[in-house]
Structure 1
């Protein structure tokens, strides 16, 4: 029997769409590292609504909105990314796993898109890709933005579509509904031998990709040989991992990423800094460039990865307002969740500051007096600085702010003409953001 599985990640920002585009175009480090030896980068099946490139998801998203006349809801996800998986053995039964002419690769590609639009709505998919340049295969990457009517107007609503799907399948949560729906569709339209993957609530397994499992084994082996000590926990973990289904290591990798940041924050919370790709220097910023995003993405990609990874597990910088209940299943200790929420807030604040700093610096170098983003408070993720303050207060890292009410004598209402402040053409180039 063959298996079918699904993974979904909600896209909440334009920056994430840009990142998805870079990955699809094989322009980021992650995609480069996963290329199969001898494979042509970008080999595979791809389609999107973008007018020029099937892998430009930002352009495809804009075209999607224009086509359906749809707007966005403030604070709601822009779309969702779904990875539709079947057992690679099913594709191999009809030919090479990485052959675009293999009829099962084409059938999988077509049916994944058809499945998504069967519940999300006709035209809801704005991008689809089946990569054939990696060691693995049999995974279709979909970009989905369902449109529903709200107050007489079309708006993007991933939540409504998922609620409808949950009701249609009778499952108790949206994730299970997606798994069941994709498995049923695969069985009906691809092969009657395809069945739903074993429910995680029963197996409690973390699915590992063969490539990443190999890297984990190599790393553990190096550690053991170097230190000449046995590490029972690592050994037991690897023994258990050897029995797991080799479908995706991403969940385990992402949890380890968050756990690493928790430990770093617990060791020195006051000194903790958001991870960053490289230290931004003014000399590295070319004032002739008009597009700041390549620089912004480079500087903040590691910090943004922490924020978006936490979001995948339902956690965010405002969890303190919800009693730190989010993420309990993954991080049972309340202290860990408190430190992680502070980490997310600090990484989010760094992302917003990086965007403001780069844009302002480019404006300065061009001699543009109209600095577009003097403040980072309203940049993504919005109000992160306030979240940092709250979470540090909750951890006892700073004293609570006390607002004092001072009684003053009422002043006579006299209108005074004030001079407009004189703005200097020379702004500080302080790099501490």
Structure 2
């Protein structure tokens, strides 16, 4: 049997549509990174209501003009749906990345037909099936349903979903979408296609160009078998001393990736041999500085040192597409981006530890050193960069120009943690 899965995100602004256009055109960093070796960047089956088959801003404007539809204030203007089936189903009829493969063509056509079966005729203004990535069998839809409101056509994303929930008898809109897409596939593509697992695919944050690749990976996970237990594999394997040394660093990084995925905002580097409080007390009593610095940051330093072995040290990540150095060992883009964020945060803690010890000896706070003066230099910029790639922070250009960021270490600083003060709009209609 083959699986079907769906992922839908609400789009609230033209800026989001513009970002999705850039990704579709492979004009953004994450989009370029997803192109497989030897493929032509941008190769895809694509259509839109605009002259450019990937210009979703122009297609949205053409869509509104065609249907004479207006928008509700502060309401989503569209939704994006990722319609997935098992890649093996496409491969039964030919190459997964062949635009002439009849199953790619059928999937492309039926995804649009499915969306308009519940969103309304003409509700889809853009369709794309990427053929330049390692994976496949994912159709990207741009949908802007229109319903009457006081006698006037208005874009409404919530009402069609509510209608679909009632039609399927499911308990929420998300389940209704999953069931509806699976049923449509079984009826119009292949009776052997069935619904994927009944579990959420993502944390339901709003989709940005940077997080697009992560969403694609999560959508594909719903149509793949669970991986075999790692412990089970290791129990049955012979491991040499050299293998054990290599595995130690690799498993350390894999574990930190998992921790960061579970709570990216609350992630803290591994604990060092001593606590911040103990390091401060020892410093004030006249203890030698460098042993304290190394003990305080030992946990974070072990992660940074391990990352160097995979070409993902702080200096590597500061370069354009530096996270791609780890593709061989971390083939999923999601893992590489989360690992890059981990390395950046551990690097910043290493610099923080040194700044803390140095500044404790300086009475005049105006002469305190900033974190970014110490190794690894400018680690705060690296943290901001990969937080943006993961959609965790508001882009830096949003910050008012009259409120410059500083990285001065306080006399009695707290451990480095991610800023949780941003009021994040999840861009959907479900509860959180």
Cα distance change of structure 1 residues 251 and 134 upon mapping to structure 2, 3 Å threshold:
closer
> Does the 8 Å CA contact 2:256/2:339 hold for their aligned counterparts?
no
> Does the 8 Å CA contact 1:265/1:272 hold for their aligned counterparts?
yes
> Does the 8 Å CA contact 1:206/1:249 hold for their aligned counterparts?
no
Residue 128 of structure 2: SS of its match in structure 1?
strand
Specify the alignment match of 1:94 in structure 2. Answer: 93
Specify the alignment match of 2:255 in structure 1. Answer: 234
- For 1:77 and 1:91, the matched residues in 2 are separated by 33
Specify the alignment match of 2:140 in structure 1. Answer: 141
Task: Give, in angstroms, the shift of residue 167 of structure 1.
Answer: 0.9
- For 1:304 and 1:74, the matched residues in 2 are separated by 27
- Say if 2:44 is the partner of 1:23: no
Query: Structure 2 matches for 1:10-409, cutoff 5 A?
Result: 10-50=10-50, 52-200=51-199, 225=246, 231=252, 234=255, 309=391, 347=394, 350-353=396-399
Specify the alignment match of 2:320 in structure 1. Answer: none
Task: Give, in angstroms, the shift of residue 257 of structure 1.
Answer: 9.3
- For 2:343 and 2:120, the matched residues in 1 are separated by 40
Cα distance change of structure 1 residues 58 and 266 upon mapping to structure 2, 3 Å threshold:
farther
Residue 39 of structure 1: SS of its match in structure 2?
coil
> Does the 8 Å CA contact 1:184/1:196 hold for their aligned counterparts?
yes
Task: Give, in angstroms, the shift of residue 54 of structure 1.
Answer: 0.3
TM-score (structure 1 length as normaliser): 0.54
> Does the 8 Å CA contact 2:7/2:219 hold for their aligned counterparts?
no
- For 1:272 and 1:117, the matched residues in 2 are separated by 53
- For 1:175 and 1:112, the matched residues in 2 are separated by 17
TM-score (structure 2 length as normaliser): 0.54
Superimposed CA distance per residue, residues 45-99 of structure 1 (whole angstroms, 9 cap, x where no aligned partner): 100001x210100100111111111111111111111010001111111111111
- For 2:80 and 2:43, the matched residues in 1 are separated by 20
RMSD after superposition: 4.8
Task: Give, in angstroms, the shift of residue 151 of structure 1.
Answer: 1.7
Superimposed CA distance per residue, residues 214-251 of structure 1 (whole angstroms, 9 cap, x where no aligned partner): 9xx9xxx999749759649829969xxxxxxxxx9788
Task: Give, in angstroms, the shift of residue 103 of structure 1.
Answer: 0.6
Cα distance change of structure 1 residues 160 and 224 upon mapping to structure 2, 3 Å threshold:
farther
- For 2:63 and 2:15, the matched residues in 1 are separated by 17
> Does the 8 Å CA contact 2:337/2:389 hold for their aligned counterparts?
no
Superimposed CA distance per residue, residues 276-325 of structure 1 (whole angstroms, 9 cap, x where no aligned partner): x9999xxxxxxxxxxxxxxxxxxx9867656xx46xxxxxxxxxxxxxxx
> Does the 8 Å CA contact 1:208/1:249 hold for their aligned counterparts?
no
- For 1:135 and 1:10, the matched residues in 2 are separated by 26
> Does the 8 Å CA contact 1:264/1:272 hold for their aligned counterparts?
no
Report how many residues are paired. Answer: 281
Specify the alignment match of 1:6 in structure 2. Answer: 6
- For 1:35 and 1:236, the matched residues in 2 are separated by 23
The structure, 1 or 2, with the larger RCO (C-alpha pairs under 8 Å, 6+ apart) is 2
- For 1:260 and 1:232, the matched residues in 2 are separated by 9
- For 2:30 and 2:78, the matched residues in 1 are separated by 22
Instruction: Structure 2: give runs of 5+ residues left out of the alignment.
Output: 204-216, 231-241, 260-330, 353-369, 373-377, 403-419, 425-432
- For 2:199 and 2:132, the matched residues in 1 are separated by 29
5-14 vs 104-113, which moves further: 5-14
Superimposed CA distance per residue, residues 20-59 of structure 1 (whole angstroms, 9 cap, x where no aligned partner): 0011111111121111221111212100001x21010010
Cα distance change of structure 1 residues 231 and 26 upon mapping to structure 2, 3 Å threshold:
closer
Residue 115 of structure 2: SS of its match in structure 1?
helix
> Does the 8 Å CA contact 1:48/1:57 hold for their aligned counterparts?
yes
- For 1:4 and 1:170, the matched residues in 2 are separated by 19
- For 1:10 and 1:69, the matched residues in 2 are separated by 21
